[in-house]
Structure 1
Amino acid sequence: MEEGAAREGLSSEGIAAQLRVRILEGAYSLGQRLIEMDLAEEFGVGRGRVREAFRMLTGEGYLEFVANRGVLVRCYTRAELIEMGRVREVLEGLAAKLAAEAELSGEMRQELEALQERMNVAEAAGDYPSFGAENRAYHALIERLAGNKFASAYIDRVRIPLIRVQMPPADVAESIGRSNRDHRVITAAILNGAPEAAEAAMRAHVRAGNEHVARLPEAVFSAS
Structure 2
Amino acid sequence: MRSDEVTSSASSAVIYGILNGLAEQKLFPGQRLVELDLAEQYKVSRNSVREALQQLAAQGVVEIPRNKGAAIRSLSLQETQEVLDVAERMTGLLARSAALGIASGQPRDPIQQALAELDRANTAQDVDAFARARRGLYRALLNTSGSRELKRLFPSIQMPIVYAQHRPSTLQKVRMRDYQAMCDAVLRGDAQAADEAGMAHVQNVRSAITHRFSSSPAETET
TM-score by length of 2: 0.82
SS in 1 for 2:70: strand
Unaligned runs of 5+ in 1: 1-6
Report what 1:190 is aligned to.
186
TM-superposed deviation, 1:8: 9.7
SS in 2 for 1:111: helix
Q: Does residue 157 of structure 1 match 2:153?
A: no
TM-superposed deviation, 1:13: 2.4
C-alpha spacing 1:166/1:129, structure 2 compared with 1 (3 Å): farther
Report what 2:61 is aligned to.
62
TM-superposed deviation, 1:126: 3.4
TM-score by length of 1: 0.81
C-alpha spacing 1:182/1:157, structure 2 compared with 1 (3 Å): same
Report what 1:142 is aligned to.
141
Distance 1:190 1:52 in 2: 38
Q: Which amino acid aligns with 1:162?
A: V
Report what 1:181 is aligned to.
177
Distance 1:73 1:195 in 2: 36
Cα deviation code 1:18-42 (max 9, x no counterpart): 2322232222232111111232344
Unaligned runs of 5+ in 2: 1-5
* Identity across matched positions, percent: 25
SS in 1 for 2:165: coil
Report what 1:206 is aligned to.
202
Contact preservation (8 Å) 1:166, 1:220: no
Which region of structure 1 is more displaced relative to structure 2, 120-129 or 109-118? 120-129
Report what 1:110 is aligned to.
109
Distance 1:163 1:153 in 2: 21
Contact preservation (8 Å) 2:23, 2:164: yes
1:1-224 equivalences under 5 Å are: 11-102=10-101, 103-106=104-107, 109-158=108-157, 159-168=159-168, 171=169, 174-217=170-213, 223=222
Report what 1:4 is aligned to.
none
* Count of residues paired in the alignment: 211
